[in-house]
Structure 1
Amino acid sequence: MGFIPTVELAIALSIIYAAAMAVWPPEKGHGDLKAFAITPGIGLLHGFGFSFMLHQILRVDAPNVWHSLLAFNVGVEAGQVMIVLLVWPLVLLLRKQPGRIWVNSRAVVAACASLVALVWVVERAEFFL
């Protein structure tokens, strides 16, 4: 059992967990503390995944490694900002809709993310068989 496949499996499982929390949020009070405790762990897992990918892309002994690392991080952050700017107006619109439209739309997005992550889980679980 290797470290990298274990981290990749844990990343996929964390996506499924986050999707479940979007559909079934924990109770107020206890859920806030639980999210506060779990969020850094999920971030660390995803950071490990990025570091493995970067290690494959960049040569550690390359003279421009800092430029490449900075460009990669700026690119990731810019991509995240662009996604938020594109999706946020839709989120605001859906939250204002009557009935269960907001809850159902959140469930659809969570189900799609879970399905993709489930494929990743199956792919990574094959390593352990």
Structure 2
Amino acid sequence: MTEEAAFPPRRTRETLIEWVRDFQSQTDVGDAEIIVALQEGEATRDTGLVVVRPRSNSAMAVYMQPRGFDEPLWEVTLPARDDEVPMSALQLSSLGTFVSLAATLCTYLQWRSLEWDRASGRHDV
């Protein structure tokens, strides 16, 4: 068995774009922009980075990715900020909606990854 055959199948950028499109077709994403980032890994070893940000506030963004190389479990990162962010009740409500959307997308990508890995028969999950 080659080294490549020993690895679970890759979730390529194209696969993630398809999953994000499926999610967007089933979910009202409001003013959120979802981007499947260019991968940092080798061509056959994509890392799977998805960025979500409100179109109305490009300074706010979260990103999600598998917990490790070829991991089916995903995690969300809220980048640190250097300053406080005062906001109105309406802005806070919008932020809550945005964070909830990001959590739902992360859960969806994790579910798709688990299904993908189970279908491959080459990854214990």
Bin for the TM-score computed over the shorter chain: 0.3 to 0.5
> When you count helix as a share of all residues, which structure comes out higher?
1
* TM-score, normalised by the number of residues in structure 1: 0.32
* TM-score, normalised by the number of residues in structure 2: 0.33
> When you count strand as a share of all residues, which structure comes out higher?
2
The structure with the larger Rg is 1
Compare relative contact order (CA 8 Å, sep 6+) and give the higher one, 1 or 2: 1
